[in-house]
Amino acid sequence: MCGVFGVHSADRDVARLTYFGLFALQHRGQESAGIAVSEGGRVTAVRDMGLVAQVFDEEKLAALPGEVAIGHTRYSTTGGAHWSNAQPLVHHGAARTVALAHNGNLVTPGPLRDELLAAGVRIASTSDTEVIAGLLGRDPAPLPEAVAATMARLDGAYSIVAIVGGTLVAFRDPLGIRPLTLGRIGDDWVVASETCALDLIGADVVRDVLPGEVVWVDDEGCHSAQAVPRGRSAACIFEHVYFARPDSSLGGTGVHAARVRMGERLAEEAPVDADLVMPIPDSGTPAAIGFAKRSRIPYEEGLIKNRYVGRTFIEPDQELRRQGIRLKFNPLDEIAGRRLVIVDDSIVRGNTMRALVQMLDDAGAAEVHVRISSPPVVSPCFYGIDMADEDELAAAHRSVEEMREHVGATSLHYLSLDGMQWATRLPEEEVCRACFTRSYPTRVPAGRLAAKHRFEATASR
């Protein structure tokens, strides 16, 4: 997850453009938000906990003039949800000052972090991101060579936007695990995690930043180089299933259309005799549309979602916590006595689906048939998804029938691996499907070496 955005322009309000870019990428992270700008080579950053609209207002944006800006919305995968881990980070290195924002997750940042600390480099955060900034900040080589040398030492997923002096820099890991797209607004260059952010600010999509490529934009224009050799492409297929906004395009494939195809294929693979198809909003909506279309079972909204849950700092009291799922969903009266097909994109821990099935039963549904538009999630992700340990993944050690019993459904079926792959229109050899297959494109750590909070106790303050 996480959303990154960057823009270089001598004439536009780069902080405001970045604000709206982040607004379009809010779905990729809701823990913290930040913007860094460079004015004449001087970097200023504002970052805080909360949503983009909670962190920034007119006064703060007006105080961020400059020619280059980068922004970030955070979803934590290494390092806890606290202010010191909010991004963009500003790192003052021996060779250069670097403002940097990162989407992805390094697989083995520990040795690099230890090396930097031993060399006297101050690391103020507990995320893996400052390792990247630390390596780049102490390398005295010219910028493209310093980026290439830094990338050669990193292992894992990283789509990066950075400011070095008055230059906008973007680079992507050699497997291209997380998305990063280059665009233009007039004569100015923009980079963003997803195309939906370019759409919002009126920029044209130019192309994806290639795996292993570095792009830098300065007063002379846009430049690029293959910084490290490309590996086999391993774009995250879960971006197509869940992460990306439906109005984005990934690898040339429209996300909404891919999710509708997942629902259509699911209806072919797991037909059911029912009265209506309903989504778990909003994640299951496109697939439910596809399922209804192919099965010719009427599509209806059966659950009303409170879209502001999780957007407040006020904790529910004990009685509201007992109500659980009703904080987020409430069923309509129309489902009573009807045979339902409920469609969602995935089941991870299974707690939400079990509570939803129980709530629909309590509301009088005659049958509740669960259809999932991806295969069972059986293995954790090390590349930027805060996914549970394998023992906490509901389907990791259960059969489909055991999962049906676990969630309490009348029936349960998942989309096949082949069906999901077909829906994305991407070749199997160009995606990472490790969370569904346990087959990783890189070496992965075990035990506490992969723990999210592994650097919390040793952080330098």
Q: Two tokens at 303?
A: 């659950």
Q: Two tokens at 372?
A: 């999932």
User: How far apart, in Å, are the Cα atoms of 41 and each of 102, 105, 164?
Assistant: 21, 28, 8
User: 2, 196, 236, 435: which is the annotated catalytic residue?
Assistant: 2
Catalytic residue flag (residue 2): yes
User: How far apart, in Å, are the Cα atoms of 267 and each of 242, 259, 293, 404, 423?
Assistant: 19, 13, 9, 18, 13
The interaxial angle of helices 129-138 and 143-152, nearest 10 deg, is 130
Paired strand residues for 370:
342, 412
HEC string of 367-429 equals EEEEEECCCCCCCCCCCCCCCCCHHHCCCCCCCHHHHHHHHCCCEEEECCHHHHHHHHCCCHH
End-to-end C-alpha distance for the chain, whole angstroms: 27
Report how far residue 143's alpha carbon sits from residue 201's, in angstroms, rounded to the nearest whole number.
29
Q: Is the peptide bond before 174 cis (omega within 30 degrees of 0)?
A: no
Q: Two tokens at 317?
A: 């009291």
CA 84, distance to chain mean position in Å, is 20
Q: Is 63 exposed, middle or buried (0-12, 13-18, 19+ CB in 10 A)?
A: exposed
CA 266, distance to chain mean position in Å, is 24
Q: Which residues are catalytic?
A: 2
